[in-house]
Structure formats: structure tokens, C-alpha cells
Chain A
């Protein structure tokens, strides 16, 4: 998605004005001329100036009829391709829904199924996709949950119980050799 510089510039200008306006709600440091609002205001001024420059540039580009920025917005060629649009949505959905789904069905099952679906969607054959999905999930489980103690949503079905047992056994060998 390519936007004309003027569109981006105008957006930056509006954002800068809103941001500077919002800093008025910040408290002052007692007895100091500088407070928590100083830096946001400076950043806002900087963004605003850049916004003006971009607006000017964008308008110049529009004046030249056959340049890249001649139209306000140019969608990438993928926008016309339903498959690419679908891919885009699936990636975002996976990112957003992975943890919430994990909280219901547990991380292992959620990760295996989501990874499997995305792999299939991107045209990996189903056998390698299933194998990879399981292997990667086991790797993440051992590394993050067991070794790094990251509390990924727990699994109500205990499908990785054998792996946990094996890990506990190996850990016992290293920590308490006696």
C-alpha cells in the first residue's frame, strides 16, 4: 500500500497537533520550567515540521502526472489477489488469536493446529506440515516452558506429559547425580 507523501504528511501533522494538545493534561514539576511535557512537545514539533515537508513534496509529485506519487493511494498488486489478501489476514489472525486460543485449549494443541493451518495455507504438503508443526511445538515446549520457565497457557489435556516425564528424568540425572 503506497500512499502519496501528502497523505502521510497530513496524517503526521494531525497526529503531532493531537499529541501536543494532549500534553496539556500533564502536571508540571514544581519549581521547574521543564516537565514531562517537554519531550513530547519537541517530538510533536519535529513530526509536524516533517509532515509539512512531506505534504509539499506529495503535492509536487501529484503535479507530475506519471510519477509514482501521482495518485493519493496505490494499493500493492497483491490487493487484487484474493489469495495474498487471505494470507495477510491469516497471519494477523494467527498473531492476535494464538494466545487467547491457547488459554482455552492449552498451548501445545493450539500451536500445533495453528502452525499446521498456516503451513498448509502457504502450500507446504500436509505430511511435512504435520511433522513440522509437532516438532516445532515440542521444541518450543521444552525450551520455553521447561528450560526458560515461561508460563505459556497450560494444557488441560496433558498431551505433552510423556515429554515432561522424560525431561524431569533427564534433569534429575544432571541436578542430582546421586
Chain B
């Protein structure tokens, strides 16, 4: 054998190996989805509420699908970075993500062109209504007291709970508008989230905090904060004594933060259906209900097109409030 043919043989062998290594996973891909690990993108930081729910879902989805589901945090830009990463991923079902209420807000604020249409909806699994909280020793005893004070002395009372234009800010603005006060009657003091906002409330820095009731739960039970109303259609099972906004003040305003599972636009209906079925079983599992309840997260269900309808409605109502606040561009 001449050196040349030996070299040629070696080259052919290497090529065959490389090509073989490339083809092997491809032939696998034609088999049943999923045949390799799935990445679950979370647009918010490790340690936050969205991250917590995502890790619960990932652990349970892994059990349903029989393949590892890895949580990857892509934070930044008020959620823009992570949502964009989900929308731009290859729609093969191996990159999915948790999308949140902010997808219906950031395009109004002019931060991105991305909206809910860029995703293949899988399922909505969580909603948390906004709660209206005041200090426990506050003289306000009802929603009407708050509205009266806001109308009588606009600008005198301050509120907090999230950043400027965040979902809880819009919840308060929507309530003020529905209650006949100007949306700017209670100036918003931006904070990095519900926890610092609640701390500011207890420290006497602000008078009102809107946030989910779960986020304030520790302080409510400690007798530091009192919830006056919850901005949802029904009372919360965890706090049955807190009235809805409709019951408390006759205001037809509801505000929720929500989280759902979605993939990039263009996923094949087969893969979408498989994921919807898996999520259905996750949602119905006692583990999911128990873990979500323990952590204080509300559960809700809307799959496929129903989820898309939910997102479209949420998008419209948030857009209205943001325009009223002058936050839309």
C-alpha cells in the first residue's frame, strides 16, 4: 500500500466518522419527539417567581416526556431579551419558554416590536390577581376610602410595588381610572419588585402597594399589611375574607399577572399537540397543584388557541391603560 492510498483511506475514514456523527442524531430526530434534552428559557432571573414556577414545570415535564428539561435564564431588558430568545429559537420543540404578562406591555412601551403573535401558544398555567394593600395601621378601611383620598388630594399619597409601567402599576392606574380618579392622582414610586415596595410601605415611605396577594402573604399574616381588595373575578381560595374589587367598590376592573408555556412561531402542530398533552397531565398532577399552592401561586388553565385569545385580551386591556398613563409610545 502506497503512502498516498494510506492517507486517502485515513481521510475517508475520518470523513465517514464525522458525517456519521452528524447523521446519527438526525435519524434520531425523525423518531418520536422528543429524543434529546429540551431547553426551557425563562426571561427573568433565577430566584424570582417566574423562575420558581418554571423549575416546578421543568421537573414535572421531564417526568412526562422522559427527557431532561433544562431551565435557562435569559434575563435583561425588562424581559425583552428572554422573550426574544424564545421567539427567535428554532421551532423544533427543543427550545420552549415561559412567557409572561410583560409580552403584552413591552411593545406598547416601544421597547421591542415583539408581541404575542410571535409565539406558538402551548398553555397558560398561572394567573395572580393584583391585590390592593395598605399599612395595617392605616386609617383607610376600604377601597372607597382610598379612592376618596385620591380624588380629594391628588398627588398627596404615593404608591409602589414594581417599576414604572410595570404590571402592578397598571393595575393601580386601571383601578383609579375605573373609580373616577385621575390615573396620576397617586404618583408611582418605582421599586425593583414587590418585596422592596412592601418594605417601603411598612417603613412608612409609601401609602399603597399593589402586588399579588401571595407576595404580601408573610406581612399580612404578621399583621403589618392589610389587603383591601383583590382585582379578580372571584375571591382567592387562600384569602377568602378579601373582597374582589367589584364586591368592595363596584368597579369592574380586573388585573392579573400571568405565566404560560410557549414556543417560537412555526412549531409543527404535532409537536405542539404533544407538548399541550404533556402540560395537561402536568397541570392535573397532584404534585403541580401542591407545589404551586404551597408557594402561593394561583393556577389557571388555557391551552392552544384559548391561550392565544387570553394573550390577545390581556394585550388590549394593558395597551389601553398604558395609553392613558402616557407610557405607550
Chain A contact residues, CB within 8 Å of chain B: 29-31, 149, 151, 156-158
- Judging by beta carbons under 8 Å apart, are B187 and A158 in contact? no
Q: Which secondary structure characterizes the binding site on chain A?
A: loop
* B220 close to A (CB within 8 Å): no
Q: Which of B21, B39, B71, B184 makes the CB contact (< 8 A) with A30?
A: B184
Residues in B with CB closer than 8 Å to A29 are 164
Residues in B with CB closer than 8 Å to A156 are 21-22, 25
CA A30 – CA B326 in complex, angstroms?
9
- Judging by beta carbons under 8 Å apart, are A31 and B187 in contact? yes
Q: Which of B18, B71, B164, B326 makes the CB contact (< 8 A) with A157?
A: B18
- Judging by beta carbons under 8 Å apart, are A151 and B326 in contact? no
- Kindly provide the distance from the CB of B29 to the nearest chain A CB, expressed in whole angstroms: 13
Residues in B with CB closer than 8 Å to A30 are 184, 326
Chain B residues numbered 6-41 whose CB sits less than 8 Å from any CB in chain A: 18, 21-22, 25, 39
- Mask: chain B, 264-292; 1 = CB below 8 Å from A; 0 = not: 00000000000000000000000000000
* B70 close to A (CB within 8 Å): yes
- Judging by beta carbons under 8 Å apart, are B184 and A149 in contact? no
CA A31 – CA B187 in complex, angstroms?
9
CA A31 – CA B154 in complex, angstroms?
12
Q: Which of A31, A151, A157, A158 makes the CB contact (< 8 A) with B39?
A: A151
- Chain B residue with minimal CB distance to A159? B21
* B236 close to A (CB within 8 Å): no
- Judging by beta carbons under 8 Å apart, are A151 and B70 in contact? yes
| Contact count A vs B, C-beta below 8 Å | 18
CA A156 – CA B155 in complex, angstroms?
61
- Since A31-B184, A156-B25 are in contact, a sample of 14 more A-B pairs with Cβ atoms closer than 8 Å, ordered by chain A residue number, is A29-B164, A30-B184, A30-B326, A31-B155, A31-B187, A149-B70, A149-B71, A151-B39, A151-B70, A151-B72, A156-B21, A156-B22, A157-B21, A158-B21
- Kindly provide the distance from the CB of A172 to the nearest chain B CB, expressed in whole angstroms: 13
Q: How large is the interface on B (under 10, 10 to 19, 20 to 34, 35 or more residues)?
A: 10 to 19
CA A151 – CA B21 in complex, angstroms?
20
The 6 A-B pairs of least Cβ separation, nearest first, read A157-B21, A149-B70, A151-B72, A156-B22, A158-B21, A30-B326
- Kindly provide the distance from the CB of A164 to the nearest chain B CB, expressed in whole angstroms: 11
Residues in A with CB closer than 8 Å to B187 are 31
- Chain B residue with minimal CB distance to A168? B68
- Chain A residue with minimal CB distance to B24? A158
CA A31 – CA B164 in complex, angstroms?
14
- Chain A residue with minimal CB distance to B329? A27
Chain B residues numbered 157-189 whose CB sits less than 8 Å from any CB in chain A: 164, 184, 187
Residues in A with CB closer than 8 Å to B326 are 30
Pull 18 A–B residue pairs with CB atoms less than 8 Å apart, ordered by A: A29-B164, A30-B184, A30-B326, A31-B155, A31-B184, A31-B187, A149-B70, A149-B71, A149-B72, A151-B39, A151-B70, A151-B72, A156-B21, A156-B22, A156-B25, A157-B18, A157-B21, A158-B21
CA A31 – CA B326 in complex, angstroms?
12
- Chain A residue with minimal CB distance to B41? A151
CA A149 – CA B39 in complex, angstroms?
10
CA A151 – CA B38 in complex, angstroms?
11
CA A156 – CA B25 in complex, angstroms?
9
Residues in A with CB closer than 8 Å to B155 are 31
CA A31 – CA B39 in complex, angstroms?
45
- Chain B residue with minimal CB distance to A155? B21
- Kindly provide the distance from the CB of B143 to the nearest chain A CB, expressed in whole angstroms: 25
- Kindly provide the distance from the CB of A128 to the nearest chain B CB, expressed in whole angstroms: 26
- Chain B residue with minimal CB distance to A27? B329
- Chain A residue with minimal CB distance to B326? A30
CA A87 – CA B129 in complex, angstroms?
58
Chain B residues numbered 97-151 whose CB sits less than 8 Å from any CB in chain A: none
Chain B residues numbered 72-113 whose CB sits less than 8 Å from any CB in chain A: 72
Residues in B with CB closer than 8 Å to A151 are 39, 70, 72
